[in-house]
Amino acid sequence: MRFGFTEEQEKLRQEIDDYFRQEISGELLEWIEQQYERVISAPESPEFTEKLVEKGWLGLQYSHGVQEGSMFEEESGYWRAPVAYHNERIVGAIIQSVGSDEQKAYFLPRLASGEITIALGYSEPGCGSDLAALTTRAVPDGDEYVINGQKTYSSRGVNANHAIVVVRTNTEVPKHKGISLFLVPLDVPGVTIRPLPMMGWSIDIAELFFDDVRVPALNLIGERDRGWYYLAASLDFQRVRIGEVGIQRRMMEALIEFVKETKVDGEPLSKDPFVRDMLAQRAIEVEVARLLNYRSVWAATRGPVPPHYTSMGTMYLRETSQRIAQTATEILGLYAPLKWDSKWAQLKGSAETMYRAAPGYTLAGGTSEIQRNVIAQRGLGLPR
Amino acid sequence: MDLDFSQEQVMFRTTCRDFLSKECPGTLVRELESSDEGYSPELWRKIADLGWLGLTFPERYGGLGGDSLDLAILYDEMGRANFPSPHLATVVLGGHTILECGSEEQKQELLPKIAWGELLLSLAFTEPGFRYEPMAIATKATAQGEEFVLNGTKLFVPNANVADYLICVARTGDGGKTEEGITLFLLDAHAPGIICTPLKAISEIGHEKQCEVIFQDVRVPKDNILGELGQGCAPVVKILNQATVAVCAEMVGGAQAVLEMSVEYSKERVAFGRPIGSFQALQHKMADMLVEVDGAWLLTYQAACMISEQIPCAKQVAMAKAWTSNAYRRVTAEAIQIHGAYGFCSEVDTTLYYRRAKAGEFALGDPRFHRNLVASEMGL
C-alpha cells in the first residue's frame, strides 16, 4: 500500500512543473489570466499544445500509464496550461477504439492537428440526465444519413467546426439500444447555431439545430445502434476530473496568500480563527477529493473502474469547488461581488467569477443527483 | 499510488475479523461496558496469544515487528466489532512510549510483559481545562533528592482503573517555552497518593472508559524517568500522533460496519410496498455516507502509511482526525435514522456506534483543534 507516487513519477511531475513554470510566464501568462478571470477556464493555444504533443505529454497515459497521464492533467489544471483539443482527444479515443480503418485514417490526424474541432451534442431540450430519451433522428438515405433535431447546452458549440451528435437510429428497440454517434460538420446546409449565454463558467455554449442535415455514412462512428455503449465508456473516462483538483489547489493557494497579506484592524486575516477553520476545512475537502479521484485512476490500472468510484470523485470534487467559491466570497466580504475589471476588486475578481460559475459544477457532465443514484445503486447495490 | 494491502496484511485482517466476529458479539460488548474492569481478561490473554499486543514491538522484545499500517488494520477490525479492551492505553500510549524513549533496561523489562498480556498501562496527560496540547501540562514534579514528588490532576485517562503502571506527563521545569520542561514518569498505578476515579460517559467501551487520576505528593524514583529530563514533549507528541491514527482506524471500522448495517436493513425493510432502500431520499443519504466513510478510510490509511514510511505527516494525521470524527458522527446519526425507531433501541448495535462516535470525536483532539493544526501546517 502506498499513497504517494514512485520516484520516477515524482521526477516526471517535477519536469512538468518546471516546464509549465517557465513557459507559462510573461505575455502568455497575461493572456491566460485575462481569459481566466472572466470564465474560469484556461484559453486554448494550438502552438502551446503542439509543443506538448512533441514532448509526448498528451499521450502519457498510453506511453506510461493512467497515473502519469492523470498527474499531467492535475499539473495542467494547476498551472492553467492552455491545452487545446480536449474534446478532440475524447472523440479520437472513441474512434481509435471502435472506428473503421477508413475513419481512423481520415479523422484521427485531423483531430490531432486541430483541423477538426469538436462541440458536444448530447443534451436536448427534452432530455439531459435521461439522455437515452433523446429524439434527434438520423435516417439512412443512400450513402448518407439525414439528421433532424435539436441539441442544447452544447459546450464549444459556438466556436467548433464539428459536433459529436448522439442520435436515434432505431425506434423499434429499447431506447438505449437504438442510439448512434455521428461526427457532424457544423458548416453544412441545415445547421443553425445559436449561442446560449450561461451565467458563468463558459462563454462557448450553444443550441444546435439540425434541419435535414446530410452527413456521409463515414461519419457514423463505429457500429450503428451501439452509440450508447461507446458513450458510456467515454463518459466514465471523462469523469475522472484530475485537472479540476489542480485548479482548486491553485485557488486555495491564492486564498492562503490573500489572508496572510490582508490585514483587518492591524491583524492578518490568517490569524482569525474563523478564517483558519474555514480554510482548513476546505483544504481537508480538497485532499479527500484528490484521494477519491486518484483512487479511480489507480483502479484503472487494474481493470474497469467501478462506476461509483468515478461518481464519488466527481461529485465530491465539484461540490467542494462550490464550497471553495463560497469560502472565497466569505473571505473577501464586501469586495466579493466586485468583478475582475472593477476598481477595488480583490484577487482579480476571482471570487465573483468562481461564484457565478459554481452552480454549473453540479449540473454539467452528470448532475450530483445522478451521481448519487450511481453511488447508491452501483456502489452500494441498493435497488432501483 | 497503490491501494492494495499485501497478502500478509489481508490474512491478518481476516484473522482479526474472524476472531472478533466469533468472540465479541454485541451482547458481550454491552456486558463488558457496564462491568467495572471494562474488558475480559480471558479475551485479553487470547489476543496476547494472537500477537495483537506485541504487534508493533520489535521481535527482540517479544513483538511481531509490525508497523503503523498493521496497527491501523487491527484497530479497523476492533472498531467494527466494538471490541472493549485497554489496547490503546496499554500498547500504544504505554508500550509505544516505552519503546520510543525508554532505556534498554526499561524496554527489556516491560515490553515483553506487555506483549504477553501480563501488564496493563496508561498514559496520564490531559488535565482539567479545555486544551488538548501536551504543552498545556501543569502537573508538577518537584525534585527531592533521588526522587521526584508529583502533584496534580489528570483527566480522561483511559483504563487507568485497571492499569498496573501509569506514565505521567509532568512539568519539571518552568522554562520559557512551554514545550520544554516536560518529563515522563513511569509509576506504579497503586502508589500511595494516587487516587483513581472512573468517569461516567456516553460510551465506556475500550479506551472510552476513562478516569480522573489525582496525584497527591506521589513519590517516584528518578530512575523511573522515561527518556531525558525535560525532554518529554517530543515523544509524547509522536505517540499521540500514532494513537490518533489508531483511533481514526477504529472509527473507520465502525463507520463502515454501521453503513453496511444500514444498506442491508434498507434492502429488507419494506414500506409502501417496496424496500425502503429504493427510495431516493435514502439512496442519496447512503451515497453521502459512503463518501464520508471512504474519505475517512483514505485519509486514515494515508496517515498510517506515512507514519510507517517515517514521512513527516502532522498535517495528514490532523486531516484524518478532523474528517473522521465528523464522518463517524454523521454516519452513525444517519444510520439510526435509516433504521427508524428500531435503530434507537438500546439493544440494537446502531446505538453502540452512535455513542462511540461521540466519544471518539473528542479523543486526542476534536475537529476544531485538528483543523487549527492543519491551518498552521498550511502556513496560516
Could you tell me if B176 lies within 8 Å of chain A, comparing CB atoms?
no
Q: How far is A297 from chain B (nearest CA, A)?
A: 9
Q: Which of A2, A5, A276 sits opposite B380 (nearest CB)?
A: A276
Judge residue A291's burial from the number of C-beta atoms within 10 Å of its C-beta, 0-12 exposed, 13-18 middle, 19 or more buried: buried
Judge residue A233's burial from the number of C-beta atoms within 10 Å of its C-beta, 0-12 exposed, 13-18 middle, 19 or more buried: middle
Sign of CA dihedral A31, A32, A38, A41: positive
Query: Letter for the amino acid at A368?
Result: S
Could you tell me if A376 lies within 8 Å of chain B, comparing CB atoms?
yes
Could you tell me if B319 lies within 8 Å of chain A, comparing CB atoms?
yes
Fold match between domain A117-225 and domain A239-379: no
Find the helix packing angle between A242-261 and A307-332, rounded to 10°. Answer: 20
CB atoms within 10 A of CB B320: 31
A300, containing H or E segment: helix A273-300
Give the CA angle between residues A15, A16, A20 to the nearest 5°: 120
DSSP tally for chain A: helices H, then strands E? 13, 10
For cell 435503530, the residue is B343
Q: Per-residue confidence of chain A (384 residues) as pLDDT tens digits? A: 999 999 999 999 999 999 999 999 999 999 998 887 777 777 889 899 999 989 999 888 888 988 998 999 999 999 999 998 788 888 888 898 899 999 999 999 999 888 999 999 999 999 999 999 999 999 999 999 999 999 999 999 999 999 999 999 999 999 999 999 999 999 999 999 999 999 988 878 999 999 999 999 999 999 999 999 998 877 655 557 788 999 999 999 999 999 999 999 999 999 999 999 999 999 999 999 999 999 999 998 888 889 899 999 999 999 999 999 999 999 999 999 999 999 999 999 999 999 999 999 999 888 999 999 999 999 999 999
Nearest-angstrom CA–CA distance, B292 and B328:
8
For cell 532505556, the residue is B103
Q: Is A116 left (phi over 0), alpha (psi -120 to 50) or beta?
A: beta
* CATH class of the region A117-225: mainly beta
Residues of A whose CB is below 8 A from B267: 381-383
* pLDDT for residue A127: 95
* pLDDT for residue A237: 53
Look at chain A and count its residues. 384
B298, containing H or E segment: helix B280-308
B221 phi/psi in degrees, rounded to 5: -65, 145
Nearest-angstrom CA–CA distance, A83 and A86:
8
B290, containing H or E segment: helix B280-308
* pLDDT for residue A235: 64
A340 phi/psi in degrees, rounded to 5: -55, -30
B64 phi/psi in degrees, rounded to 5: -105, 0
**Which residue stretches of chain B have pLDDT < 50?**
none
Give the CA angle between residues A269, A270, A272 to the nearest 5°: 65
- Locate the domains of chain A by residue range: 7-84, 117-225, 239-379
Nearest-angstrom CA–CA distance, A362 and A358:
8
Q: How far is A243 from chain B (nearest CA, A)?
A: 17
The answer to whether A245 and A297 are in contact (CB under 8 A) is no
- What CATH architecture does domain A239-379 belong to? Up-down Bundle (1.20)
The answer to whether A153 and A119 are in contact (CB under 8 A) is no
Pair type for strands B165-171 and B121-124:
parallel
Please count the residue pairs, one from chain A and one from chain B, whose beta carbons lie less than 8 angstroms apart: 132
Q: Where are the alpha helices (DSSP H) in A56-208?
A: 60-63, 66-79, 86-98, 101-113
Q: A279 by DSSP, 3-state: which?
A: helix
Query: Letter for the amino acid at A379?
Result: G
CA torsion angle B71 B74 B80 B81 (round to 10): -130
Find the helix packing angle between A242-261 and A66-79, rounded to 10°. Answer: 40
Q: How far is A155 from chain B (nearest CA, A)?
A: 28
Nearest-angstrom CA–CA distance, A221 and A170:
15
Q: Do the Cβ atoms of A377 and B371 come within 8 Å? A: no
3-state DSSP: chain A helix, strand, coil percent, rounded to 5?
Answer: 55, 15, 25
Q: Do the Cβ atoms of B379 and A260 come within 8 Å? A: yes
DSSP tag of B90: I
Could you tell me if B310 lies within 8 Å of chain A, comparing CB atoms?
no
Q: Do the Cβ atoms of A2 and B305 come within 8 Å? A: yes
The answer to whether A205 and A175 are in contact (CB under 8 A) is no
The answer to whether A154 and A209 are in contact (CB under 8 A) is no
What's B167-187 look like in SS3? Answer: EEEEECCCCCCCCCCEEEEEE
Could you tell me if A303 lies within 8 Å of chain B, comparing CB atoms?
no
Residues of B whose CB is below 8 A from A1: 2-6, 9, 69, 301, 305
Nearest-angstrom CA–CA distance, B10 and A350:
47
Q: How far is A67 from chain B (nearest CA, A)?
A: 8
Residues of A whose CB is below 8 A from B379: 256, 260
The answer to whether B134 and B233 are in contact (CB under 8 A) is yes
Sign of CA dihedral B35, B36, B38, B40: negative
Q: Which residue of A has its CA nearest to B320?
A: A284
Query: Letter for the amino acid at A254?
Result: A
pLDDT digits (tens, 9 = 90+) for B110-131: 999 999 999 999 999 999 987 8
**Domains, chain B, ranges and CATH?**
7-120 (1.10.540.10), 122-231 (2.40.110.10), 234-377 (1.20.140.10)
For cell 510483559, the residue is B113
Q: Which residue of B has its CA nearest to A371?
A: B287
For cell 484559453, the residue is A43
Nearest-angstrom CA–CA distance, B215 and B169:
12
Nearest-angstrom CA–CA distance, B307 and B317:
9
Beta-bridged to residue B188, according to DSSP, are B165
Q: How far is B287 from chain A (nearest CA, A)?
A: 5
Residues of B whose CB is below 8 A from A288: 295, 298-299, 323
The answer to whether A13 and A75 are in contact (CB under 8 A) is yes
DSSP tag of A116: S
* pLDDT for residue A239: 58
Nearest-angstrom CA–CA distance, B289 and B327:
8
Nearest-angstrom CA–CA distance, A226 and A223:
6
Nearest-angstrom CA–CA distance, B377 and B380:
7
* pLDDT for residue A296: 93
- CB-based contacts of B109, cutoff 8 Å, min separation 6: none
Could you tell me if A334 lies within 8 Å of chain B, comparing CB atoms?
no
